[in-house]
Amino acid sequence: MSARTRQDQVDREHRDAGMSLAEVLVAMGLLGILTTLIATVVILGLRVSSTMQERLDDSTSGEIAIMTTSKLLRTAVRQDQLEELDCSTCVKTAIVKATANEITFYANVGNTGQGPSLVTLTVLENPKARGTAILRQRTQRPLPATNGFTYCSSTSSSCAATTRTVVDGLVLPSTASFSYYDFSGELITRSLTAQPDLNAVASIDVSFSVRTERGNDATVVVQRIRLPNADISDPDQTT
């Protein structure tokens, strides 16, 4: 047998012998490292995608809350601006109540010719998810009365009113959701309880913090809303 033939035979025997244990262990180790790297990249990608989707959802919820609030506040009117009908129980201002997290006002929405609706926007704790808040809208329609209209008492169990949750997933407010500004653009820091004080409100800053998933940074949406009918109530322009 020639030397070349013997070498070919040795090479065939070496190939037929397969892989050694050391080679198998090295291959398995490399495969494990590669699999771990691929899995890590996929998991990080899914987490980033999920976080971005959650922040997008928060931003959308915040915009819905802002747009709804803005749309309603821009319809705020004094009860005597719409109809000649009289409301003996109504206050003479567009805004009835103004606090840090609740505002009640007469709104020219769903007007049936009897008078404006009485709308209340409130930021309060979500009874279904403690530790979070909701924006709630409560709307009372005017009721016919002698020579005019009136509203039922909101504390009465028989008072007919529609209530809806505008948006949930809000952060419980530690600061004011509603801030009030006068006609000169100055922040009103005094308590808004009397008619002259309520008449002084010309615009409102609305601020909502949204976080639908705990652990994520809250998305904050803010907008200054001017009351288009407020100029009529400007004490410096009326006599």
Helix/strand/coil for 18: coil
pLDDT single digits (tens) 49-104: 666 666 677 778 888 889 989 999 998 888 777 666 778 788 888 899 999 999 99
Q: Look at the chain and count its residues.
A: 239
Cα 163 vs. chain centroid, distance in angstroms?
17
Confidence of residue 239 (pLDDT cuts 50, 70, 90): very low
The per-residue pLDDT for 18 is 60
pLDDT single digits (tens) 114-142: 788 899 999 999 988 888 899 999 998 88
pTM exceeds 0.85 for this model = no
Alpha-carbon distance 65 to 15, whole Å?
Answer: 72
Helix/strand/coil for 165: strand
Alpha-carbon distance 58 to 61, whole Å?
Answer: 5
pLDDT single digits (tens) 177-194: 999 999 998 999 888 887
Residue 126, C-beta contacts closer than 8 angstroms, at least 6 positions apart: 132, 133, 134, 168, 170
Name, of 37-46, 117-126, 193-202, 225-234, the range with top average pLDDT: 117-126
Listed in sequence order, the DSSP H helices in 74-212 are: 195-199
Token pair belonging to 225: 């809303």
